[in-house]
Chains A and B, each alone.
Chain A
Amino acid sequence: MTALDDLVRDAQIIVTAGSGGVGKTTTAAVLALHGARLGRRTVVVTIDPAKRLADALGLEGLTNAPSKIEGDWPGEMWAMMLDTKSTFDDLVVKHSVDPAQADRILGNRFYKNISGALSGTQEYMAMEKLYELHCDSDFDLVVVDTPPTRHALDFIDAPRRLTRFLDHRLYRILMAPTRGLMKAANVAAQAFVRTVSKVVGAEVIDDAITFFTAFSGMEEGFKNRANTVFELLSAPSTAFVLVASPRRDTVSEADFFARRLGEAGIDVRALIVNRMHPRFGQGLAEATRERARTLQGTDLGGLYTNLADFRLVASREEEHLAGLAERIAPAPVIRVPFLQSDVHDLDGLAEVGTHLFDAPPASRATS
């Protein structure tokens, strides 16, 4: 049994993090599939899956609810694609005092922009969905993919960010005109707002004021929820798994994420490195290159040039990984070789699984 086997058997939540294009979504799906094969009821939440993988997982439309993937395994596998906006809408409805308040907020243009575009909203809503699914007794293991940005882990300080936004000086300035008695003290502030309006247009400011007015009274609910989510993320039953490719830039991004998690007091539980070049024989790249040079112009020279190329890549990849492996130790580093083709069906996911886990239970997808 590998360490990753234990993780998939025991964890209640697994979060995959890493930069774009490293196979993060695929890895999340592989982990969920393996959970199902171990008899668990798993659900994988993806952010932006490549189209063919989405099709394979039955994720044609945005339903914001998990759909079940049929297959020959003892557990269950469900998958869903995160719909940031409707997750946020649900949250507003949940925390509003009455339906009228919810309607005012949902119809506000400022809100529509926040819920669709505010940087960090997608990350925050991914965590909100995670919490919701975690509390759902239908699932034993929730696997969540994160957006492919540097800000992907900003959700770990979501409570602080949200509080900062709501306690913002500008928020108070914008709210000032509605608080009669404070008006006189805020002449300067209002002059400031007028100038801002001149630059961006008054309707933008009006929308913001209307939103903040409608939102008042809901801050506490949001803050408390954010705190609960953070506690869940830092609990031992939640495992953060980094996904990378062995290139220098993606490894340094993964390293950035590892440090970011470390600052929040969260350990990385495993590093999965996709697309590793194979190592051909034991010779050193330098010596092989030298041999290629002496044989230049012959077929054998070409063969040695090629061998030297791949030996160089393989040793460079290990060099790139060394620092990060040390940083996250004792968490294991799992190396997945270049695959024959991109993964876009359940058999493909199972194939990746053979590189992640020891002796996977013998069962095949029925699709």
Chain B
Amino acid sequence: MDPAQFFAASRLVIVAGKGGVGKTTVTAALARAAARTGLTSLIVEVEGKSGLADLFGREPLTYDEVDLADGVRGRTLTPDDALLEYLRDHGMSRISRRLVSSGALDVVATAAPGIKDILILGKVKQLERAKTADLLVLDAPAAGHAITFLLAARALLDAVRVGPINTQAREVLEMLTDHARCQVMLVTLPEETPVNELVDTAYHLEDRVGVSLGPVVVNGVYPEIAGIDADPDDAAAAASTTLRDGEAQSLRDAAAFRRHRTELQREQIDRLAAQLPLPQLKLPYLFNADLGPRELEALAGSLLDGIGELQETRS
């Protein structure tokens, strides 16, 4: 599939997954991949302190948009700021400060849970409508909260029957369930528990929220290395060299470890494919754990390769 076409399929991509699977890294890599096809993208972060700006070698994001890289901007959204802006835009600026500073939002949010989520999603919807960028990439809250976050609109429609919140919830739901406007990409590691949770989350999101699911991103896949099956002593002889004491053992053990881990990963990837009929995009495990702009480019490249290999199954 042509990557440009892939990224043009919906203006909003929501990246979701369990904590620790590399959701934020995938968000950043997607934005860069889109930028490389000539699209502008805006990353929206909702939890703060996700380390997203670090990946670009920049200062932490703020409520105001900043440039992160070529073709990539970023900003953070907080419910308080979104509420202030909403009230200001709706002729209620007089009480807006007070509502936030008195902590009223917390009490209101308790009375109607999901209100904070809808404030954020409402703002995302506004950005989407305003065509702020060709592609919006939303780094969703981690783990189980991603489901409640996306379910907030439906839940609020029941809790608040009239008024602006109700309108907001309805419009957010329209956006989330419109496949031409929004898709969710789930991220996992090729390991047992994360795969199980991803499958659960996928069915929940499809059944209960009605969102369209894009390809699944499998992060941290060991890249293949040629020669790893060879015996170190034979390989040394073939390369006309000798090994120091103990070196053959280290090479052999490390190779066995990698083969074993790779085998386990393959089992989980196959299991995921069997349980969830969605295309997969694989990202390599980076042994250099300190991710920065250079690693990000490599990951964006892997994504573009993976997207290029996707079958055009959906029109």
Nearest residue (CB) in B for A247 is B289
> Which chain B positions have C-beta within 8 A of A249?
20, 51
Given A170-B103, A192-B95, is A205 in contact with B111 using a C-beta cutoff of 8 Å?
A: yes
Q: Report whether A295 and B107 are in contact in the complex, using a CB–CB cutoff of 8 Å.
A: no
A342 at the interface (CB under 8 A from B): yes
State whether A313 touches B159 (Cβ < 8 A).
Answer: no
Residue contact A299 to B239, C-beta cutoff 8 Å: yes
The answer for the CA separation of A309 and B193 in the assembled complex, in Å, is: 25
C-alpha gap A281/B257 in the complex (Å): 13
Pair B235/A298 contact, Cβ less than 8 Å: yes
Q: Is the CB of A200 within 8 A of B115?
A: yes
- Residue numbers in B under 8 Å from A317 (CB-CB): 289
Q: How far is the CB of B15 from chain A (nearest CB, A)?
A: 16
Please measure, in the bound complex, the distance between the C-alpha atom of A174 and the C-alpha atom of B103, giving whole angstroms.
13
- The B123-171 residues at the A interface (CB cut-off 8 A) are 142-144, 148, 159-166
Alpha-carbon distance between A303 and B231 when the two chains are bound, in angstroms = 9
Whether A262 is near chain B, meaning CB under 8 Å from some CB there, is no
CA gap between A170 and B109 in the complex, in Å: 13
B251: CB under 8 A from chain A? Answer: yes
Contacts of A114 in B (CB 8 A): 110
CA–CA, A20 to B19, complex, Å?
Answer: 5
For B100-113 the 0/1 string (1 means CB < 8 A from A) is 00111001101111
Give the size category of A's interface with B. Answer: 35 or more
Q: Are B20 and A204 in contact (CB under 8 A)?
A: no
Residue B290 at the chain A interface, CB threshold 8 Å: yes
Q: Which of A19, A113, A170, A295 contacts B19 (CB 8 A)?
A: A19
| 22 sample A-B contacts, Cβ–Cβ < 8 Å, listed by A number | A113-B112, A116-B113, A171-B107, A195-B95, A196-B95, A201-B163, A203-B161, A205-B111, A208-B107, A248-B289, A278-B253, A281-B246, A283-B250, A295-B241, A300-B239, A302-B228, A303-B235, A305-B225, A309-B287, A310-B257, A340-B260, A342-B193
Chain B interface (Cβ within 8 Å of chain A)? 18-21, 49, 51, 87, 92, 95, 98-99, 102-104, 107-108, 110-113, 115, 142-144, 148, 159-166, 191-194, 196-197, 225-228, 230, 232, 234-236, 238-239, 241, 246-247, 249-251, 253-255, 257-258, 260-261, 264, 287-290
Known: A204-B111, A300-B241, A303-B251. 20 other contacts (CB 8 A): A21-B193, A50-B196, A116-B113, A168-B107, A198-B163, A201-B161, A205-B111, A208-B107, A208-B111, A247-B289, A281-B247, A298-B227, A298-B238, A303-B230, A303-B232, A303-B254, A307-B255, A309-B258, A313-B289, A316-B289
